[in-house]
Amino acid sequence: MALFRRVSPDGHKGKVSYNDGIVSGIIALAVSEVEGVELLPGKKRGMKLYFEKDGIYADISVKVDYGYTVPDVAFKIQQTVKHNVEAMTKYKVAKVDVYVVGVEISEEQHAAEQN
């Protein structure tokens, strides 16, 4: 469970708590915005999150669609995740590691290569 403390403009103190499910959802949405990539299926969706004092560390495993440049896709994922998490939660993202575990080849591409 992550915790974010904030003092409102009118001086009232309070806290907002984010569990890792909320941050995971934000990351999943961020990755879905990147063209040519998909998260791994399953409960954890290929994500591991670590909440540390200096920020959130994220390990994200994805499959890249055939024809996309892996370094470009990975960099776009890093940018999008950092921007969305920091904008929606006010947390700092310390590090985003992207692991490409496979390349997805569509049926049309596979058929075209056979010919």
pLDDT one-digit tens code per residue, 8-18: 666 667 776 77
pLDDT in tens, 86-101: 999 878 999 999 999 9
Q: What is the mean pLDDT of residues 61-77?
A: 95
Domain 19-114, architecture per CATH = 2-Layer Sandwich (3.30)
Distance CA 16, CA 14 (A): 7
Distance CA 97, CA 50 (A): 12
